[in-house]
Chains A and B, each alone.
Chain A
Protein backbone atom coordinates (compact mmCIF):
# COMPACT_ATOMS: atom_id res chain seq x y z
CA UNK A 1 0.00 0.00 0.00
CA UNK A 2 1.45 3.32 -1.09
CA UNK A 3 1.39 6.07 1.58
CA UNK A 4 -1.28 8.77 1.28
CA UNK A 5 -3.57 6.64 -0.86
CA UNK A 6 -7.16 6.29 0.25
CA UNK A 7 -8.12 4.01 -2.65
CA UNK A 8 -5.75 1.61 -4.30
CA UNK A 9 -6.69 -1.14 -6.69
CA UNK A 10 -4.15 -3.53 -8.11
CA UNK A 11 -4.81 -5.08 -11.50
CA UNK A 12 -8.52 -5.22 -10.89
CA UNK A 13 -10.41 -7.35 -13.40
CA UNK A 14 -14.09 -8.21 -13.55
CA UNK A 15 -16.23 -10.19 -15.97
CA UNK A 16 -19.97 -10.25 -16.64
CA UNK A 17 -20.24 -13.70 -18.20
CA UNK A 18 -17.81 -13.70 -21.12
CA UNK A 19 -17.52 -9.95 -21.28
CA UNK A 20 -14.42 -8.45 -19.66
CA UNK A 21 -15.77 -5.30 -17.98
CA UNK A 22 -12.66 -4.33 -16.03
CA UNK A 23 -9.23 -5.13 -17.34
CA UNK A 24 -6.37 -4.77 -14.87
CA UNK A 25 -7.47 -1.42 -13.48
CA UNK A 26 -4.99 0.04 -10.98
CA UNK A 27 -6.44 3.14 -9.34
CA UNK A 28 -4.51 5.43 -7.02
CA UNK A 29 -6.63 7.99 -5.19
CA UNK A 30 -4.87 10.33 -2.78
CA UNK A 31 -6.37 11.50 0.49
CA UNK A 32 -7.91 14.98 0.26
CA UNK A 33 -8.21 14.88 -3.52
CA UNK A 34 -11.21 15.18 -5.80
CA UNK A 35 -10.70 12.32 -8.21
CA UNK A 36 -12.70 12.52 -11.44
CA UNK A 37 -13.29 9.04 -12.83
CA UNK A 38 -14.15 9.56 -16.47
CA UNK A 39 -15.24 7.40 -19.30
CA UNK A 40 -18.06 7.02 -21.82
CA UNK A 41 -21.21 5.11 -20.90
CA UNK A 42 -20.45 1.42 -20.48
CA UNK A 43 -16.73 2.02 -19.92
CA UNK A 44 -16.71 0.28 -16.53
CA UNK A 45 -17.13 3.21 -14.13
CA UNK A 46 -20.14 1.92 -12.19
CA UNK A 47 -18.68 -1.59 -12.10
CA UNK A 48 -15.47 -0.19 -10.58
CA UNK A 49 -17.50 1.71 -7.98
CA UNK A 50 -19.55 -1.37 -7.13
CA UNK A 51 -16.33 -3.33 -6.65
CA UNK A 52 -15.00 -0.55 -4.38
CA UNK A 53 -18.17 -0.88 -2.29
CA UNK A 54 -17.98 -4.68 -2.23
CA UNK A 55 -21.31 -4.96 -4.06
CA UNK A 56 -19.50 -6.98 -6.71
CA UNK A 57 -16.95 -9.53 -5.62
CA UNK A 58 -13.53 -9.16 -7.22
CA UNK A 59 -12.35 -12.02 -9.35
CA UNK A 60 -8.82 -10.87 -10.01
CA UNK A 61 -6.84 -8.13 -8.36
CA UNK A 62 -6.85 -6.51 -4.96
CA UNK A 63 -8.79 -3.59 -3.54
CA UNK A 64 -7.40 -1.53 -0.67
CA UNK A 65 -9.26 1.31 0.99
CA UNK A 66 -7.74 3.31 3.84
CA UNK A 67 -4.78 0.94 3.51
CA UNK A 68 -6.82 -2.18 4.27
CA UNK A 69 -7.89 -5.14 2.15
CA UNK A 70 -11.59 -4.70 1.33
CA UNK A 71 -12.39 -8.41 1.37
CA UNK A 72 -11.01 -8.80 4.88
CA UNK A 73 -12.23 -5.53 6.46
CA UNK A 74 -15.60 -4.89 4.77
CA UNK A 75 -17.53 -3.33 7.66
CA UNK A 76 -14.62 -1.22 8.94
CA UNK A 77 -13.90 0.12 5.47
CA UNK A 78 -17.56 0.79 4.60
CA UNK A 79 -17.95 2.81 7.81
CA UNK A 80 -15.53 5.32 6.28
CA UNK A 81 -17.34 5.56 2.94
CA UNK A 82 -20.46 7.39 1.89
CA UNK A 83 -21.77 6.58 -1.56
CA UNK A 84 -24.30 7.56 -4.17
CA UNK A 85 -24.56 4.97 -6.92
CA UNK A 86 -26.40 5.77 -10.14
CA UNK A 87 -29.81 7.18 -9.14
CA UNK A 88 -30.13 8.09 -5.45
CA UNK A 89 -31.82 5.34 -3.45
CA UNK A 90 -34.63 7.10 -1.62
CA UNK A 91 -37.88 5.91 -0.07
CA UNK A 92 -40.40 7.98 -1.99
CA UNK A 93 -43.20 7.48 0.57
CA UNK A 94 -41.08 9.10 3.29
CA UNK A 95 -40.17 12.78 3.51
CA UNK A 96 -36.59 13.91 2.98
CA UNK A 97 -36.15 14.25 6.72
CA UNK A 98 -37.68 10.83 7.40
CA UNK A 99 -35.28 9.29 4.88
CA UNK A 100 -32.41 10.79 6.83
CA UNK A 101 -33.89 9.81 10.20
CA UNK A 102 -34.28 6.25 9.00
CA UNK A 103 -30.65 6.14 7.88
CA UNK A 104 -29.56 7.74 11.17
CA UNK A 105 -31.47 5.04 13.02
CA UNK A 106 -29.87 2.32 10.93
CA UNK A 107 -26.34 3.65 11.33
CA UNK A 108 -26.76 4.59 14.99
CA UNK A 109 -25.98 8.22 14.21
CA UNK A 110 -27.16 11.05 16.45
CA UNK A 111 -30.34 12.54 14.95
CA UNK A 112 -28.96 16.06 15.36
CA UNK A 113 -26.88 15.26 12.27
CA UNK A 114 -30.11 15.07 10.25
CA UNK A 115 -30.84 18.80 10.44
CA UNK A 116 -27.17 19.56 9.87
CA UNK A 117 -27.16 17.52 6.68
CA UNK A 118 -30.43 19.05 5.46
CA UNK A 119 -28.87 22.44 5.98
CA UNK A 120 -25.66 21.45 4.22
CA UNK A 121 -27.49 20.36 1.06
CA UNK A 122 -30.02 23.22 1.21
CA UNK A 123 -33.04 21.03 1.79
CA UNK A 124 -34.20 22.41 5.15
CA UNK A 125 -37.17 24.16 3.53
CA UNK A 126 -38.30 20.96 1.85
CA UNK A 127 -37.45 18.63 4.75
CA UNK A 128 -41.03 17.53 5.35
CA UNK A 129 -42.03 17.13 1.72
CA UNK A 130 -42.39 13.57 0.39
CA UNK A 131 -39.10 12.61 -1.28
CA UNK A 132 -41.07 11.17 -4.21
CA UNK A 133 -42.14 14.73 -5.04
CA UNK A 134 -38.59 16.09 -5.07
CA UNK A 135 -37.00 17.28 -8.32
CA UNK A 136 -34.07 15.25 -9.64
CA UNK A 137 -31.61 17.84 -8.30
CA UNK A 138 -33.20 17.69 -4.85
CA UNK A 139 -33.09 13.90 -4.91
CA UNK A 140 -29.40 14.00 -5.79
CA UNK A 141 -28.75 16.41 -2.91
CA UNK A 142 -30.73 14.22 -0.54
CA UNK A 143 -28.69 11.25 -1.80
CA UNK A 144 -25.50 13.14 -0.96
CA UNK A 145 -26.89 14.05 2.48
CA UNK A 146 -27.65 10.37 3.09
CA UNK A 147 -24.13 9.47 2.01
CA UNK A 148 -22.62 12.07 4.36
CA UNK A 149 -24.78 11.32 7.38
CA UNK A 150 -22.27 9.10 9.19
CA UNK A 151 -19.46 11.58 8.46
CA UNK A 152 -17.38 9.35 6.16
CA UNK A 153 -13.86 10.27 5.11
CA UNK A 154 -14.43 9.19 1.54
CA UNK A 155 -17.39 10.05 -0.63
CA UNK A 156 -17.98 7.98 -3.77
CA UNK A 157 -20.40 9.59 -6.20
CA UNK A 158 -21.47 7.85 -9.38
CA UNK A 159 -22.53 10.39 -12.00
CA UNK A 160 -24.19 12.74 -9.47
CA UNK A 161 -24.86 15.37 -12.13
CA UNK A 162 -26.58 12.99 -14.54
CA UNK A 163 -29.82 14.44 -15.82
CA UNK A 164 -29.43 17.73 -13.94
CA UNK A 165 -29.98 21.14 -15.50
CA UNK A 166 -27.05 23.63 -15.49
CA UNK A 167 -28.16 25.14 -12.17
CA UNK A 168 -28.35 21.69 -10.59
CA UNK A 169 -24.87 20.87 -11.88
CA UNK A 170 -23.46 24.11 -10.42
CA UNK A 171 -25.12 23.38 -7.04
CA UNK A 172 -23.59 19.89 -6.88
CA UNK A 173 -20.21 21.27 -7.95
CA UNK A 174 -20.30 23.93 -5.21
CA UNK A 175 -21.35 21.35 -2.64
CA UNK A 176 -18.48 19.04 -3.57
CA UNK A 177 -15.94 21.87 -3.33
CA UNK A 178 -17.37 22.83 0.05
CA UNK A 179 -17.04 19.26 1.31
CA UNK A 180 -13.37 19.12 0.41
CA UNK A 181 -12.42 22.64 1.49
CA UNK A 182 -14.46 22.88 4.69
CA UNK A 183 -14.81 19.27 5.79
CA UNK A 184 -11.65 17.68 4.47
CA UNK A 185 -13.36 14.88 2.58
CA UNK A 186 -11.85 12.88 -0.26
CA UNK A 187 -14.19 12.66 -3.24
CA UNK A 188 -14.25 10.02 -5.94
CA UNK A 189 -16.67 11.19 -8.60
CA UNK A 190 -17.50 9.49 -11.87
CA UNK A 191 -18.81 11.18 -14.99
CA UNK A 192 -19.00 10.62 -18.71
CA UNK A 193 -18.44 14.33 -19.40
CA UNK A 194 -15.06 15.87 -18.72
CA UNK A 195 -16.50 19.38 -18.89
CA UNK A 196 -18.75 18.61 -15.90
CA UNK A 197 -15.93 17.71 -13.54
CA UNK A 198 -12.93 19.45 -15.12
CA UNK A 199 -13.41 22.60 -13.04
CA UNK A 200 -13.50 20.91 -9.67
CA UNK A 201 -11.26 17.84 -9.80
CA UNK A 202 -7.62 17.69 -8.75
CA UNK A 203 -6.96 14.28 -10.27
CA UNK A 204 -8.37 12.38 -13.20
CA UNK A 205 -8.63 8.76 -14.22
CA UNK A 206 -9.89 7.93 -17.70
CA UNK A 207 -11.35 4.51 -18.34
CA UNK A 208 -12.64 3.00 -21.56
CA UNK A 209 -13.69 -0.54 -22.36
CA UNK A 210 -12.54 -1.58 -18.90
CA UNK A 211 -8.98 -0.26 -19.29
CA UNK A 212 -7.57 2.66 -17.33
CA UNK A 213 -6.08 4.80 -20.10
CA UNK A 214 -4.88 7.77 -18.09
CA UNK A 215 -4.38 8.61 -14.45
CA UNK A 216 -2.84 11.76 -13.01
CA UNK A 217 -3.37 15.38 -12.14
CA UNK A 218 -5.17 17.86 -14.39
CA UNK A 219 -1.77 19.40 -15.20
CA UNK A 220 -0.42 16.02 -16.26
CA UNK A 221 -3.42 15.59 -18.51
CA UNK A 222 -2.70 18.99 -20.07
CA UNK A 223 0.86 17.91 -20.70
CA UNK A 224 -0.33 14.83 -22.54
CA UNK A 225 -2.25 17.13 -24.83
CA UNK A 226 -0.49 17.50 -28.22
CA UNK A 227 0.28 20.94 -29.55
CA UNK A 228 -1.00 22.00 -32.94
CA UNK A 229 -0.15 24.73 -35.37
CA UNK A 230 -3.29 26.56 -36.38
CA UNK A 231 -3.03 28.41 -39.69
CA UNK A 232 -5.52 30.79 -41.27
CA UNK A 233 -5.02 31.74 -44.93
CA UNK A 234 -7.03 33.33 -47.71
CA UNK A 235 -7.69 29.91 -49.33
CA UNK A 236 -7.70 27.02 -46.89
CA UNK A 237 -8.26 24.29 -49.49
CA UNK A 238 -5.37 25.37 -51.74
CA UNK A 239 -3.11 25.93 -48.75
CA UNK A 240 -3.85 22.47 -47.41
CA UNK A 241 -3.10 20.90 -50.84
CA UNK A 242 0.21 22.72 -50.96
CA UNK A 243 1.17 21.64 -47.48
CA UNK A 244 0.18 18.01 -48.08
CA UNK A 245 2.19 17.95 -51.34
CA UNK A 246 5.20 19.04 -49.32
CA UNK A 247 4.80 16.24 -46.82
CA UNK A 248 2.91 17.98 -43.99
CA UNK A 249 -0.02 16.29 -42.22
CA UNK A 250 -2.48 19.11 -42.71
CA UNK A 251 -6.21 19.00 -42.17
CA UNK A 252 -8.95 21.58 -42.21
CA UNK A 253 -10.99 22.09 -39.05
CA UNK A 254 -13.63 24.79 -39.27
CA UNK A 255 -11.79 27.93 -40.52
CA UNK A 256 -8.25 26.79 -39.78
CA UNK A 257 -5.68 24.34 -40.99
CA UNK A 258 -4.26 22.08 -38.27
CA UNK A 259 -0.74 20.66 -38.41
CA UNK A 260 1.00 18.80 -35.54
CA UNK A 261 3.42 21.25 -33.91
CA UNK A 262 7.07 20.20 -33.96
CA UNK A 263 9.25 23.28 -33.37
CA UNK A 264 9.51 27.03 -33.97
CA UNK A 265 11.85 26.41 -36.90
CA UNK A 266 9.36 23.99 -38.40
CA UNK A 267 6.59 26.61 -38.06
CA UNK A 268 8.77 29.22 -39.79
CA UNK A 269 9.40 26.82 -42.70
CA UNK A 270 5.66 26.29 -43.15
CA UNK A 271 5.08 30.04 -43.14
CA UNK A 272 7.84 30.57 -45.75
CA UNK A 273 6.40 27.84 -47.97
CA UNK A 274 2.93 29.39 -47.95
CA UNK A 275 4.25 32.92 -48.62
CA UNK A 276 6.52 31.65 -51.38
CA UNK A 277 3.47 30.32 -53.27
CA UNK A 278 1.48 33.56 -52.80
CA UNK A 279 -0.82 32.31 -50.03
CA UNK A 280 -1.88 35.11 -47.73
CA UNK A 281 -1.20 33.96 -44.14
CA UNK A 282 -3.58 35.72 -41.74
CA UNK A 283 -2.48 33.96 -38.58
CA UNK A 284 -0.20 31.20 -37.42
CA UNK A 285 -0.60 30.15 -33.78
CA UNK A 286 0.42 27.28 -31.58
CA UNK A 287 -2.50 25.76 -29.67
CA UNK A 288 -3.15 22.85 -27.40
CA UNK A 289 -5.98 20.42 -27.95
CA UNK A 290 -8.69 21.27 -25.43
CA UNK A 291 -9.29 18.77 -22.67
CA UNK A 292 -12.68 17.69 -23.97
CA UNK A 293 -11.20 16.81 -27.37
CA UNK A 294 -8.28 15.14 -25.65
CA UNK A 295 -10.68 13.10 -23.53
CA UNK A 296 -12.60 12.10 -26.65
CA UNK A 297 -9.41 11.17 -28.50
CA UNK A 298 -8.21 9.09 -25.53
CA UNK A 299 -11.50 7.25 -25.20
CA UNK A 300 -11.78 6.62 -28.93
CA UNK A 301 -8.57 4.59 -29.00
Chain B
Protein backbone atom coordinates (compact mmCIF):
# COMPACT_ATOMS: atom_id res chain seq x y z
CA UNK B 1 0.00 0.00 0.00
CA UNK B 2 1.39 3.36 -1.01
CA UNK B 3 0.12 6.45 0.81
CA UNK B 4 1.24 9.92 -0.24
CA UNK B 5 1.28 12.72 2.32
CA UNK B 6 0.55 15.99 0.54
CA UNK B 7 -0.39 19.57 1.39
CA UNK B 8 -1.47 22.61 -0.56
CA UNK B 9 0.49 25.11 1.49
CA UNK B 10 4.10 24.63 2.48
CA UNK B 11 4.86 24.40 6.18
CA UNK B 12 1.54 22.72 6.95
CA UNK B 13 3.26 19.93 8.89
CA UNK B 14 3.54 17.42 6.08
CA UNK B 15 7.06 16.20 6.87
CA UNK B 16 6.39 16.01 10.62
CA UNK B 17 3.28 13.92 10.05
CA UNK B 18 4.77 11.76 7.28
CA UNK B 19 7.90 10.87 9.30
CA UNK B 20 5.82 10.24 12.45
CA UNK B 21 3.46 7.88 10.65
CA UNK B 22 6.35 6.01 9.02
CA UNK B 23 8.20 5.52 12.32
CA UNK B 24 5.09 4.35 14.15
CA UNK B 25 4.17 1.98 11.31
CA UNK B 26 7.65 0.44 11.47
CA UNK B 27 7.36 0.10 15.26
CA UNK B 28 4.17 -1.84 14.70
CA UNK B 29 6.10 -4.33 12.62
CA UNK B 30 4.94 -3.19 9.18
CA UNK B 31 7.63 -3.30 6.51
CA UNK B 32 7.73 0.42 5.88
CA UNK B 33 9.41 2.52 3.20
CA UNK B 34 9.78 6.29 3.38
CA UNK B 35 10.18 8.08 0.05
CA UNK B 36 11.03 11.78 0.24
CA UNK B 37 9.68 13.11 -3.05
CA UNK B 38 9.90 16.76 -1.98
CA UNK B 39 13.08 16.84 -4.07
CA UNK B 40 13.46 20.62 -4.10
CA UNK B 41 13.65 20.73 -0.33
CA UNK B 42 13.77 17.22 1.17
CA UNK B 43 13.64 17.37 4.98
CA UNK B 44 12.66 13.87 6.10
CA UNK B 45 16.32 12.93 6.57
CA UNK B 46 16.77 15.68 9.17
CA UNK B 47 14.43 13.79 11.49
CA UNK B 48 14.90 10.16 10.42
CA UNK B 49 18.74 10.28 10.25
CA UNK B 50 19.06 7.55 7.64
CA UNK B 51 22.34 5.79 6.88
CA UNK B 52 22.56 6.55 3.17
CA UNK B 53 24.60 3.89 1.44
CA UNK B 54 23.53 4.19 -2.19
CA UNK B 55 23.61 7.15 -4.49
CA UNK B 56 22.24 7.16 -8.03
CA UNK B 57 22.67 10.10 -10.32
CA UNK B 58 19.49 11.15 -12.12
CA UNK B 59 20.05 12.02 -15.75
CA UNK B 60 17.70 13.36 -18.35
CA UNK B 61 18.59 12.27 -21.88
CA UNK B 62 19.34 15.43 -23.87
CA UNK B 63 20.24 15.72 -27.55
CA UNK B 64 23.78 16.27 -28.72
CA UNK B 65 24.35 17.46 -32.25
CA UNK B 66 26.86 16.03 -34.67
CA UNK B 67 27.34 19.27 -36.59
CA UNK B 68 29.06 17.72 -39.57
CA UNK B 69 26.28 15.20 -40.25
CA UNK B 70 23.73 17.97 -39.74
CA UNK B 71 25.46 20.26 -42.23
CA UNK B 72 25.90 17.42 -44.72
CA UNK B 73 22.12 17.08 -44.71
CA UNK B 74 21.56 20.78 -45.17
CA UNK B 75 20.50 21.78 -41.61
CA UNK B 76 16.83 21.04 -42.19
CA UNK B 77 15.61 22.54 -38.87
CA UNK B 78 13.09 19.76 -38.16
CA UNK B 79 14.47 19.18 -34.69
CA UNK B 80 13.76 22.80 -33.77
CA UNK B 81 10.24 22.51 -35.12
CA UNK B 82 9.69 19.28 -33.19
CA UNK B 83 10.86 20.70 -29.85
CA UNK B 84 7.98 22.20 -27.88
CA UNK B 85 10.22 23.42 -25.08
CA UNK B 86 12.64 25.71 -26.97
CA UNK B 87 15.48 23.40 -25.98
CA UNK B 88 16.60 23.21 -29.60
CA UNK B 89 16.51 26.39 -31.61
CA UNK B 90 17.49 26.54 -35.27
CA UNK B 91 18.36 29.91 -36.76
CA UNK B 92 19.44 29.67 -40.37
CA UNK B 93 22.23 27.12 -40.34
CA UNK B 94 22.92 27.40 -36.61
CA UNK B 95 21.45 24.82 -34.23
CA UNK B 96 21.64 25.55 -30.50
CA UNK B 97 20.79 23.01 -27.79
CA UNK B 98 19.93 24.22 -24.27
CA UNK B 99 19.95 21.15 -21.97
CA UNK B 100 18.37 23.08 -19.06
CA UNK B 101 15.13 23.49 -21.02
CA UNK B 102 15.07 19.90 -22.33
CA UNK B 103 12.36 17.58 -21.06
CA UNK B 104 14.13 14.54 -22.45
CA UNK B 105 11.14 13.61 -24.59
CA UNK B 106 13.14 12.44 -27.61
CA UNK B 107 10.92 14.22 -30.15
CA UNK B 108 13.93 15.87 -31.81
CA UNK B 109 15.67 12.51 -32.22
CA UNK B 110 12.56 11.11 -33.91
CA UNK B 111 12.34 14.17 -36.15
CA UNK B 112 15.95 14.19 -37.37
CA UNK B 113 16.12 12.53 -40.80
CA UNK B 114 19.94 12.43 -40.76
CA UNK B 115 20.61 10.74 -37.41
CA UNK B 116 22.65 13.81 -36.54
CA UNK B 117 21.33 13.87 -32.96
CA UNK B 118 22.15 11.37 -30.28
CA UNK B 119 21.09 11.43 -26.66
CA UNK B 120 23.59 12.02 -23.91
CA UNK B 121 22.90 12.08 -20.17
CA UNK B 122 22.40 15.47 -18.50
CA UNK B 123 22.48 15.37 -14.72
CA UNK B 124 19.53 16.94 -12.87
CA UNK B 125 19.81 15.42 -9.40
CA UNK B 126 20.48 12.37 -7.27
CA UNK B 127 18.53 9.70 -5.45
CA UNK B 128 20.06 8.68 -2.13
CA UNK B 129 18.87 5.59 -0.37
CA UNK B 130 19.53 3.46 2.67
CA UNK B 131 18.03 2.54 5.96
CA UNK B 132 16.70 4.63 8.85
CA UNK B 133 16.32 2.17 11.71
CA UNK B 134 13.67 -0.26 10.58
CA UNK B 135 12.62 2.04 7.71
CA UNK B 136 13.73 1.67 4.13
CA UNK B 137 14.53 5.20 3.09
CA UNK B 138 15.11 7.09 -0.15
CA UNK B 139 15.16 10.76 -1.02
CA UNK B 140 15.56 12.73 -4.20
CA UNK B 141 17.66 15.88 -4.40
CA UNK B 142 17.18 18.22 -7.33
CA UNK B 143 20.44 19.91 -8.29
CA UNK B 144 20.41 23.62 -7.54
CA UNK B 145 19.71 25.60 -10.71
CA UNK B 146 17.75 22.77 -12.34
CA UNK B 147 14.12 23.60 -13.05
CA UNK B 148 12.43 20.23 -13.47
CA UNK B 149 11.73 18.14 -10.41
CA UNK B 150 9.60 15.45 -12.04
CA UNK B 151 12.38 13.20 -13.41
CA UNK B 152 14.02 13.04 -9.97
CA UNK B 153 10.68 12.27 -8.34
CA UNK B 154 10.07 9.50 -10.87
CA UNK B 155 13.38 7.88 -9.95
CA UNK B 156 12.65 8.00 -6.21
CA UNK B 157 9.35 6.26 -6.87
CA UNK B 158 11.11 3.65 -9.02
CA UNK B 159 13.52 2.92 -6.19
CA UNK B 160 10.57 2.51 -3.84
CA UNK B 161 8.87 0.10 -6.21
CA UNK B 162 11.84 -2.30 -6.30
CA UNK B 163 11.44 -5.49 -4.31
CA UNK B 164 8.01 -4.30 -3.22
CA UNK B 165 7.30 -5.88 0.12
CA UNK B 166 3.74 -6.38 1.30
CA UNK B 167 4.15 -3.38 3.49
CA UNK B 168 3.51 0.31 3.65
CA UNK B 169 5.15 3.04 1.62
CA UNK B 170 4.85 6.64 2.78
CA UNK B 171 5.55 9.27 0.13
CA UNK B 172 6.41 12.79 1.32
CA UNK B 173 5.10 14.90 -1.59
CA UNK B 174 6.08 18.47 -2.45
CA UNK B 175 3.59 21.21 -1.51
CA UNK B 176 1.32 22.82 -4.09
CA UNK B 177 -0.76 21.60 -7.00
CA UNK B 178 1.69 21.80 -9.92
CA UNK B 179 3.47 19.04 -11.83
CA UNK B 180 5.90 17.94 -9.05
CA UNK B 181 3.00 17.32 -6.68
CA UNK B 182 1.10 15.41 -9.36
CA UNK B 183 4.17 13.28 -10.16
CA UNK B 184 4.74 12.44 -6.48
CA UNK B 185 1.12 11.51 -5.85
CA UNK B 186 0.49 9.59 -9.08
CA UNK B 187 0.23 5.86 -8.53
CA UNK B 188 -0.48 6.14 -4.81
CA UNK B 189 -3.33 4.08 -3.38
CA UNK B 190 -4.38 6.86 -1.08
CA UNK B 191 -3.46 10.42 -0.13
CA UNK B 192 -3.39 12.04 3.27
CA UNK B 193 -3.81 15.78 2.81
CA UNK B 194 -2.25 17.77 5.64
CA UNK B 195 -4.28 20.93 6.09
CA UNK B 196 -2.91 23.86 8.06
CA UNK B 197 -5.97 25.21 9.82
CA UNK B 198 -5.39 28.86 8.89
CA UNK B 199 -7.10 30.85 6.12
CA UNK B 200 -4.03 30.44 3.87
CA UNK B 201 -3.74 26.75 4.68
CA UNK B 202 -7.43 26.01 4.13
CA UNK B 203 -7.48 27.92 0.86
CA UNK B 204 -4.45 26.05 -0.51
CA UNK B 205 -5.77 22.72 0.73
CA UNK B 206 -8.98 23.30 -1.20
CA UNK B 207 -6.91 23.74 -4.38
CA UNK B 208 -4.93 20.59 -3.59
CA UNK B 209 -8.19 18.72 -3.04
CA UNK B 210 -9.36 19.77 -6.52
CA UNK B 211 -6.11 18.46 -8.00
CA UNK B 212 -6.45 15.11 -6.21
CA UNK B 213 -10.00 14.85 -7.48
CA UNK B 214 -8.81 15.52 -11.05
CA UNK B 215 -6.21 12.79 -10.57
CA UNK B 216 -8.87 10.42 -9.32
CA UNK B 217 -6.95 9.56 -6.15
CA UNK B 218 -8.84 8.86 -2.95
CA UNK B 219 -7.87 11.14 -0.11
CA UNK B 220 -8.58 12.09 3.47
CA UNK B 221 -7.56 15.19 5.40
CA UNK B 222 -5.87 15.83 8.70
CA UNK B 223 -6.39 19.31 10.13
CA UNK B 224 -3.16 20.47 11.71
CA UNK B 225 -2.47 23.25 14.24
CA UNK B 226 -6.13 23.60 15.10
CA UNK B 227 -6.77 26.49 17.48
CA UNK B 228 -9.88 27.76 19.24
CA UNK B 229 -10.98 29.72 16.20
CA UNK B 230 -11.07 26.69 13.94
CA UNK B 231 -12.41 24.55 16.79
CA UNK B 232 -15.42 26.86 16.86
CA UNK B 233 -16.05 25.90 13.25
CA UNK B 234 -15.33 29.32 11.85
CA UNK B 235 -12.94 29.82 9.00
CA UNK B 236 -13.27 26.34 7.54
CA UNK B 237 -16.45 27.00 5.61
CA UNK B 238 -15.16 30.32 4.39
CA UNK B 239 -11.74 29.12 3.25
CA UNK B 240 -11.87 25.34 3.15
CA UNK B 241 -14.05 24.70 0.09
CA UNK B 242 -13.93 21.07 -0.94
CA UNK B 243 -12.94 19.69 2.41
CA UNK B 244 -16.09 20.92 3.98
CA UNK B 245 -18.27 20.07 1.05
CA UNK B 246 -18.01 16.67 2.63
CA UNK B 247 -16.15 15.07 -0.22
CA UNK B 248 -13.12 14.44 1.92
CA UNK B 249 -13.25 12.79 5.34
CA UNK B 250 -11.31 14.48 8.14
CA UNK B 251 -9.37 11.80 10.02
CA UNK B 252 -7.98 13.91 12.84
CA UNK B 253 -7.70 17.41 14.23
CA UNK B 254 -4.27 18.06 15.70
CA UNK B 255 -4.20 21.01 18.10
CA UNK B 256 -1.69 23.85 17.77
CA UNK B 257 1.07 23.01 20.25
CA UNK B 258 4.11 25.15 20.99
CA UNK B 259 5.93 22.12 22.45
CA UNK B 260 5.63 20.34 19.11
CA UNK B 261 6.96 23.42 17.29
CA UNK B 262 9.90 23.68 19.69
CA UNK B 263 10.78 19.99 19.39
CA UNK B 264 10.74 20.37 15.61
CA UNK B 265 12.92 23.48 15.90
CA UNK B 266 15.47 21.44 17.89
CA UNK B 267 15.47 18.77 15.19
CA UNK B 268 13.68 16.22 17.37
CA UNK B 269 10.77 14.15 16.21
CA UNK B 270 7.82 15.49 18.21
CA UNK B 271 6.49 11.93 18.73
CA UNK B 272 9.61 11.23 20.77
CA UNK B 273 9.16 14.10 23.22
CA UNK B 274 5.51 15.16 23.30
CA UNK B 275 3.39 12.18 24.46
CA UNK B 276 0.06 13.77 23.49
CA UNK B 277 1.34 14.27 19.97
CA UNK B 278 2.49 10.64 19.79
CA UNK B 279 -0.98 9.49 20.86
CA UNK B 280 -2.55 11.66 18.17
CA UNK B 281 -0.23 10.18 15.53
CA UNK B 282 -0.89 6.60 16.77
CA UNK B 283 -4.62 7.17 16.38
CA UNK B 284 -4.17 8.87 13.02
CA UNK B 285 -2.15 5.95 11.60
CA UNK B 286 -4.76 3.42 12.74
CA UNK B 287 -7.58 5.40 11.15
CA UNK B 288 -5.60 6.16 8.02
CA UNK B 289 -4.78 2.48 7.40
CA UNK B 290 -8.42 1.53 8.04
CA UNK B 291 -9.77 4.10 5.60
CA UNK B 292 -7.06 3.56 2.98
CA UNK B 293 -7.55 -0.24 3.02
CA UNK B 294 -11.31 0.17 2.76
CA UNK B 295 -10.99 2.59 -0.16
CA UNK B 296 -8.40 0.43 -1.91
CA UNK B 297 -10.56 -2.69 -1.60
Are the chains A and B members of one assembly?
no
